[in-house]
A = this chain, B = another copy of it.
C-alpha cells in the first residue's frame, strides 16, 4: 500500500498530527480547561501510546496557540492565574477536517499490535517456549479484557456514547486477539508436539 504518512511529525499541508488532534479534541470535549486537565486526560487514559508528560503537552499547547488553533484566557487562581484553553474557530475547523471523511487510507489499515509483532519473529524461540508465549499472551489479554469490560459497563451507564463505543471497540479488539491466539496455539502446539515426538528436544 502506498501513502506513507508521518503520524508523528507535522507537515504544514497535512493537517495536525494524531497527538495535536487529540489535544484539540480533548479541549472540545471538556470545554475550556487547563493544559493540566488535558495532560491528565492522557495520563488517566489506559493507553500507553501517549505518555501525557508535561514535556509533551505544554510545548504542544504553546505551538497550537501560536498557530491560532487554541486560545487561552487567564482565570484567577489563588493569587496568580491559570490558563483556560478554548478552541478558536480555526481550531474547531481543523478538528472537524481531521475527523471528517474521507479518512486517509493509513487510518483504516491495521494497527501495530506488539503481540503480533513478536509472533512474527517467534521462530527464534524454541518450540516449547513458543507455547508458553501464547499462554502468557492469552492470560494477560484476558486480564486486561476483564478490566476494559468493567469500564465499558460503567460508561454505558454514565458516560457519553462515544466514550462508551470507544471502550467497546477495545473490548472487541481484545476478543479478536483471543480468537486469533487460539489459531496460533493450534499451530505452535502442533510444532511443539512434533518436536517432542522427534526427540530433538533436550
Contacts and interface: CB of A to CB of B under 8 A. Distances in A.
Interface in A12-54: 18, 21-22, 25-26, 28-29, 46-49, 51
A24 to B, nearest CB: 8
A144 B3 CA distance: 13
A124 B180 contact: no
Nearest to A166: B120
A154 to B, nearest CB: 15
A103 B124 contact: no
A157 interface: no
A179 to B, nearest CB: 6
Contacts of A7: 48, 114
Nearest to A181: B169
A184 B172 contact: no
Nearest to A52: B4
Contacts of A4: 48, 51
A85 to B, nearest CB: 15
Given A99-B121, A172-B180, 5 more contacts: A6-B51, A95-B124, A99-B124, A103-B136, A173-B173
A177 to B, nearest CB: 8
Q: What 3 A-B pairs have minimum CB-CB distances, sorted nearest first?
A: A25-B121, A176-B176, A108-B140
13 contacts: A4-B51, A29-B123, A98-B118, A102-B140, A107-B137, A108-B137, A110-B144, A111-B111, A111-B113, A112-B112, A116-B170, A161-B191, A172-B176
A120 B96 CA distance: 13
B137 A103 contact: yes
A197 interface: no
Nearest to A143: B108
Given A99-B133, A108-B115, A48 B5 contact: yes
A6 B114 CA distance: 13
A82 interface: no
